[in-house]
Amino acid sequence: MLDQVCEALGRATPLELSPHAIAASALLDEALRATSLSAVIAATIPLFRWRQNPNYSAANMGADFMAGYGYVEFAGPKDALFHAPEIRAGLLLLGPGLHYPLHAHPAEEIYHPLTEGSLWRCGNEDWRSVPAGTAIHHPPLISHETKAGDRTVLALYCWRGDTATEARLAPS
């Protein structure tokens, strides 16, 4: 997957989008203090166009979740720093104590948590703590979920395949 992502990044074209902040973006500073990539990420913050999945709202996710959840895409098919229709690559931010419930999407996905203290679950597996920098693979259409511990979760992610279709909540 990494080779295909690198090839897609090589073909990506820069977009000129206005930066955009959301409530959750205020949690980034705390998360950056806990990662070795803080200087690299901090240098790009002024360009970030924070987003939330359009399928999620306070009505179906809760106001606390929406206030502590967001992502920024470095490369992707829309609202990313670089237009790359074959992939989506960016940062997920999930505030302390939040549960990103069971959801699925048709794209294959890999996460690399940059912070410690989160729990991850794929399909019917047991919850597991994943050290920062460890790859977490989600095949297409497999339901998965994440829980933040007492600190903000910051994770790199990459999708390939159907990158245009947003995640949807899975039946629990």
pLDDT by residue (tens digit) across 57-102? 999 999 999 999 999 999 999 889 999 999 999 999 999 999 999 9
Distances (CA, A) of 117 to 34, 91, 131, 153: 11, 17, 8, 8
Domains of the chain (ranges plus CATH)? 2-163 (2.60.120.10)
Cα separation, 36 vs 23, in Å, equals 24
Cα separation, 73 vs 3, in Å, equals 19
pTM greater than the 0.85 cutoff: yes
| Whether pLDDT at 12 is above 90 | no
Phi-psi region of 133 (alpha: psi -120 to 50; beta: other; left: phi over 0): left
